[in-house]
Structure 1
Amino acid sequence: MIRPFRYALKDQTPIYVFVSVLFLMGVVFGALMVNALTLEQQQDLSRYLGNFFISINEGGAGFHPMAFWEVAVLHLKWLGLIWLLGLSVIGLPGILILDFLKGVLIGFTVGCLVGQFTWKGLLFALVSVAPHNLIIIPVLLISSVAAIGFSLNIIRSRVLMNRSGSVAGPFVNYTGVTMALGLMMLAASSFETWVTPVMMAWVTPMLESSLTL
Structure 2
Amino acid sequence: MLENKISGLINKHIKDNFWLYVISLLCIFTGIVVGIYSVRYMGGFEKSDLVNYLKNFTTAVNSGNLNYKSILLQTLKNNIPVILAIWFLGLTMIGIPIILVIDVIKGFTIGFTISFIINQLGIKGIWISLAGVMPQNIIYIPCIIISSVLAMEFSLMIFRDKSRTQWKSHILVSITSYSIYFLIVSMVMCIGFFMEAYLTPNMVKLVAASFRGMLL
Do the structures match in fold with TM over 0.5? Answer: yes
105-114 vs 30-39, which deviates more? 30-39
Match for residue 7 of structure 1? 12
How many equivalent pairs are there?
A: 208
1:99-110 matched pairs, under 5 angstroms = 99-110=103-114
Distance apart, 1:3 and its partner CA? 5.0
Match for residue 86 of structure 2? 82
Which of 185, 190, 213 is the equivalent residue of 2:189? 185
Separation in structure 1 between the aligned mates of residue 107 and residue 191 of structure 2, nearest angstrom: 21
Distance apart, 1:194 and its partner CA? 1.4
Separation in structure 2 between the aligned mates of residue 117 and residue 3 of structure 1, nearest angstrom: 46
1:145-191 deviation digits (Å, cap 9, x = unpaired): 00000000000011xx3445443443232111101011112121122
Match for residue 120 of structure 1? 124
42-51 vs 7-16, which deviates more? 42-51
1:15-47 deviation digits (Å, cap 9, x = unpaired): 000100011000000111100013454344334
Q: 1:75 to 1:39 in 2, by over 3 A?
A: closer
Which of 50, 62, 67 is the equivalent residue of 2:55? 50
Match for residue 195 of structure 1? 199
TM-score (norm 1): 0.86
Q: 1:32 to 1:190 in 2, by over 3 A?
A: same
Aligned AA for 1:198?
Answer: N
- Contact kept, 8 Å, 2:59 with 2:215, in 1: the verdict is no
Separation in structure 1 between the aligned mates of residue 139 and residue 11 of structure 2, nearest angstrom: 22
Separation in structure 1 between the aligned mates of residue 47 and residue 74 of structure 2, nearest angstrom: 29
Give 5+ residue unaligned stretches, structure 1: none
Match for residue 95 of structure 1? 99
Distance apart, 1:196 and its partner CA? 1.2
Determine helix, strand or coil for the equivalent of 1:89. Answer: coil
- Contact kept, 8 Å, 2:14 with 2:21, in 1: the verdict is no
Distance apart, 1:210 and its partner CA? 4.5
Identity among equivalent positions (%) equals 29
Q: 1:75 to 1:45 in 2, by over 3 A?
A: closer
- Contact kept, 8 Å, 1:85 with 1:92, in 2: the verdict is yes
Aligned AA for 2:30?
Answer: M
Separation in structure 1 between the aligned mates of residue 115 and residue 166 of structure 2, nearest angstrom: 50
* RMSD (CA atoms): 2.3
Match for residue 37 of structure 1? 42
Separation in structure 2 between the aligned mates of residue 42 and residue 207 of structure 1, nearest angstrom: 23
196-205 vs 122-131, which deviates more? 196-205
Determine helix, strand or coil for the equivalent of 2:213. Answer: helix
- Contact kept, 8 Å, 2:136 with 2:193, in 1: the verdict is yes
TM-score (norm 2): 0.85
Distance apart, 1:69 and its partner CA? 4.3
